[in-house]
Amino acid sequence: MATMKQVAERAGVSTTTVSHVLNNTRAVSEDVKERVRTAMAEMRYIPSAVARSLKNDKTHTIGMMIPNNTNPYFAELIQGIEDASFKQGYNVILCNAYDDTRKQSAYLQVLMEKRIDGLILVASGADDELSSRLQHQPIPTVLVDREVEGVQADFVEADHEEGGYLATKYLIGLGHKDIACVSGPIDLLPSRARVEGYLRALKEAGLRFRLDYLVRSDFTSEGGFQAFKQLLAMPKPPSAIFASNDLMAIGGLCAANAAGVRVPEQLSVIGYDDIALASFTTPPLTTMAQPKYEMGALTARVLLDRVAGPTLPLRREMLHTELVVRQSTARLA
């Protein structure tokens, strides 16, 4: 790889002049600029982003941390973030914690060493070390879906309580009274909020909440499969199940099929997120659609506004979910 010194020698200028052309830090004649750019092109010179950041205090790079990229929900969120960032001249470095708080902490250190201009964080559960690190290494940060205790930052989320409420209310409107909920981990805000919406809809309709109809698992198809298997083996199984994400609902469809339970004739199933795969399950999955791409784009804009204006008031943005009716739900016979 060519060096700045080699470029300077070919252009017949000093390395300082090459630096000024790269960073636009001093007036340089058009003739000299052209010679330097021609030399860089001929030698395929690639400037060091780290070196330039030391001069300009900007890398035009955003760091993003997600809990687990096996969940398709994050793919659309990331796409929105990348598209909005790219439009404003920023690149995105993506780190995946795989729901491991130790990896989360280690990757955060890596991102800081890369001198990122800002951080987008979907936290992997509670972590005291994460909270301490973010407080002692202040950097423009936007939290998505999950707040971190003790960290004052911009926050973007969907209305999970509303989503859980609307999903359950829809099932009640179909005549179901024995409605179970397969929830995500209790320590995650979206999980708790969706359950709160489920409980609110039951209470509003005068339906009794059964503790054994609330099963907690993780946000995976395997977790959903095991939770549905448990519910369908009960002496009086539910006639409808609200799953807190589509992956769990898809695992649940497999569990119902394995148990010989027909969906939606014997069991109505509704998911949450509206991932692309939800349209192609058997039967196609009714779900609560989160505005994933829009949320990602908004998150990027909020972060770049924070990078440009560190003293602006903190923002809390909430987006709404929407019911998408497909063929996994039906009126109770």
pLDDT at 313: 95
Which uninterrupted H or E stretch holds 88?
Answer: none
The total of other beta-carbon atoms located within 10 Å of residue 82's CB is 19
Of residues 16, 19, 66, 11, the one with CA closest to residue 42? 11
pLDDT at 53: 54
pLDDT at 52: 55
pLDDT at 124: 80
pLDDT at 22: 80
Query: How do residues 81-105 score in pLDDT, each as one tens digit?
Result: 999 999 999 999 999 988 888 888 8
Question: By CB neighbour count within 10 A (0-12 exposed, 13-18 middle, 19+ buried), where does 37 fall?
Answer: middle
pLDDT at 90: 93
Integer angstrom CA distances of residue 90 from 46, 87, 116, 269, 301: 17, 7, 10, 41, 11
Residue type, 114: K
Chain center to CA of 125: 13
Please measure the distance between the N-terminal and C-terminal CA atoms of the chain and give it in whole angstroms. 72
Query: How do residues 127-185 score in pLDDT, each as one tens digit?
Result: 667 777 777 777 899 999 988 888 889 999 999 999 999 999 999 999 999 999 999 98
Q: Mean pLDDT, 10 residues at a time, over the chain (333 residues)?
A: 86 89 81 91 77 63 91 93 94 91 86 89 77 79 89 93 98 98 91 97 97 95 97 97 97 98 98 96 97 96 95 95 98 89
If you ran DSSP here, which 8-state letter would residue 212 be given? G
If you ran DSSP here, which 8-state letter would residue 69 be given? T
